[in-house]
Structure 1
Amino acid sequence: MGHGWEGVVLKLMRGKDFEFTVTGAEQVTEDFRRVHLTDGGLLAAAGGAHPTMWVRIWFEQDGRPHQRAYTLVDPDPAAGTFSLEFALHQGAASDWVRTAQPGDTIEATLQGTGFALPEPEPARLFVIGDPASLPAINSLLGAVPQARATIWFETAHASDEKLPFRLDPDRHTLHLVPRRDAGAHLVEEVRAALPALLGDPSEAYLWIACDTATTRSLASYARRELGVSKERVNALGYWRTT
């Protein structure tokens, strides 16, 4: 499958193409599926893995190439393996993963990933996400195991409460927030609670990855109204409402 104009742009930006092979899959909940893959040499070419590392996966939709970014789950550079997790809905990515079988292949491009914690390392994490960003959330929590973390997690289905959160009950507090009013309810919940929890902004780190509009709203609030420096706010819209 060709990658169209997006593939040309990624090539110009030094993106590197790989082919992954499915080795297995498991249904985590009725709305969340995990697929296991060999990496086609990606981790060796990248020099290993870093927290929240992601790749662009290519799917075909209406006869055209279509790419979406997914976080690597449990990457093993020595074995050349990792998993990907998919929040299921309508679309080419969900259609592919629902039927993925051992031996199936999928094309991917490595371009744009990167991660660095601020200095000094944060004593407190404030994490805001949803099922689409759960793999990255788990990766982030594992990267800062000594930090205390408060997580606001937006849910769209009852099954989201059974997702594979990797939490330390002694350090992590999880708030499940039902999705309402296109994300406005999540914004209200965070704005109501965060000021009393934040403490010294220079010791905190905010990581926000929800739909694009919600992410922008919360990132702007943290920087402009709470005085958190841009170096200590990592905000990336993972999807757009339609």
Structure 2
Amino acid sequence: MTGTSAAARSSRESTTTRMPRVQDFTLQVCATHEAGPYTRLRVRCPELLNPRKSDELLPTAWLRLLVPDGGRQHQRGYTLVECDHRTGEASIYMLHHDPAGPGSRWARSARPGDRIDAQLLAGQLYLQPPPDARALYVGDLASAPAIAGAIAAAPASCDIAVVLQAEPGSWSPVPHTACTLTVVSPDAGEDALIEAVTTIPGRDYAWLALEASAAQPLRAALIAAGLPRDAVQYQGYWRRGTPMGRTVETSARAAA
């Protein structure tokens, strides 16, 4: 996951996680469940998920999983949601693709008791909407879990609208009862997405998480429509045709 944010850059003191650059953890799978186009994994890691570390995990926080596949480890980023710092558990929604990648294959084969290495990277940024904000979240099925986590953490007084780029009828973890949801088919193109986003009235906060080439034009369109520049956060959540992470030989990592 890549990206930047004018608002987050200007508010680094209050929104940057404070931790070593990379922290290593091991997650244990507690339960698995097929949910629409995702496998929902309930995982446990008391070293990461506990009351002392709760301030380090901002809404939309993600881990880099080291997914084992064919004698290699593939780095893939996934958002932690539904965190319970009392039990040390959280959920990860792993989106399936066609053709299936290493993350998808591993998720579908995972069973309770399985373990996977993970890394938490420092410098993750997220600026929470203030109370009474008219917030707008824009994403797709890859970023929908992060949007769901952000909505759950937002002040209850916020008026939340979500525009999701997905096929009509697709299931996602975005809570329909907590927001006004608009779905735009990916086949409709960039102009349709921009129109859907810029015609939602009265927004004063926006968080965008889309394919990298789509995020910045959408931010520019919102600013042109009158949203203050420092009220828009955006991330290139994935890159078309390019894995978001390195692949290393398992033996090479063990030697390192």
User: Alpha-carbon deviations, 1:134-188, whole Å to 9, x = none?
Assistant: 11111111222321122111114x661x33331336xx211111111xxxx3532
* Structure 1 residue 232, shift from structure 2 partner: 1.1
* Structure 2 residue matching 1:23: 3-state secondary structure: strand
- The normalised TM-score by structure 1 is 0.80
Counterpart Cα distance in 1 of 2:169 and 2:118: 29
Q: Report how many aligned residue pairs link the two structures.
A: 216
After the TM superposition, which residues 16-165 of structure 1 pair with which residues of structure 2 at under 5 Å, given as runs?
Answer: 16-29=23-36, 31-44=37-50, 47-48=53-54, 49-61=57-69, 63-89=71-97, 90-112=100-122, 113-117=124-128, 120-121=130-131, 123-144=133-154, 145-156=156-167, 160=170, 162-165=171-174
Asked whether the equivalents of residues 165 and 193 of structure 2 are also in contact (C-alpha less than 8 Å), the reply is no
Asked whether the equivalents of residues 123 and 147 of structure 1 are also in contact (C-alpha less than 8 Å), the reply is yes
Q: Identify the match of residue 177 of structure 1 among 184, 197, 221.
A: 184
Counterpart Cα distance in 2 of 1:51 and 1:95: 27
Percent identical residues: 29
Counterpart Cα distance in 2 of 1:117 and 1:230: 16
* Structure 1 residue 194, shift from structure 2 partner: 4.0
Counterpart amino acid of residue 18 in structure 1: F
Asked whether the equivalents of residues 122 and 204 of structure 1 are also in contact (C-alpha less than 8 Å), the reply is no
- The normalised TM-score by structure 2 is 0.76
- Compared CA separation, residues 70 and 141, structure 1 to 2 (3 A): same
* Structure 1 residue 59, shift from structure 2 partner: 1.4
Counterpart Cα distance in 2 of 1:51 and 1:60: 27
Asked whether the equivalents of residues 122 and 205 of structure 1 are also in contact (C-alpha less than 8 Å), the reply is no
| RMSD, matched Cα | 2.3
Provide the residue aligned with 2:231 in structure 1: 232
Counterpart amino acid of residue 130 in structure 1: D
- Compared CA separation, residues 24 and 43, structure 1 to 2 (3 A): same
- Compared CA separation, residues 99 and 59, structure 1 to 2 (3 A): same
Provide the residue aligned with 1:5 in structure 2: none
Counterpart Cα distance in 1 of 2:229 and 2:110: 40
More RCO (CA 8 Å, sep 6+):
2
Counterpart amino acid of residue 22 in structure 2: G
* Structure 2 residue matching 1:83: 3-state secondary structure: strand
* Structure 1 residue 15, shift from structure 2 partner: 0.4
Counterpart Cα distance in 1 of 2:232 and 2:132: 11
Structure 2 spans left out of the alignment, 5+ residues: 1-19, 242-256
Provide the residue aligned with 2:11 in structure 1: none
- Compared CA separation, residues 142 and 96, structure 1 to 2 (3 A): same
* Structure 2 residue matching 1:128: 3-state secondary structure: strand
Counterpart Cα distance in 2 of 1:137 and 1:218: 17
The structure carrying a bigger helix percent of its residues is 1
* Structure 1 residue 197, shift from structure 2 partner: 3.1
User: Alpha-carbon deviations, 1:20-57, whole Å to 9, x = none?
Assistant: 0011100112x211011111511239721432121111
Asked whether the equivalents of residues 19 and 40 of structure 1 are also in contact (C-alpha less than 8 Å), the reply is no
Provide the residue aligned with 1:197 in structure 2: 200
Counterpart Cα distance in 1 of 2:21 and 2:52: 12
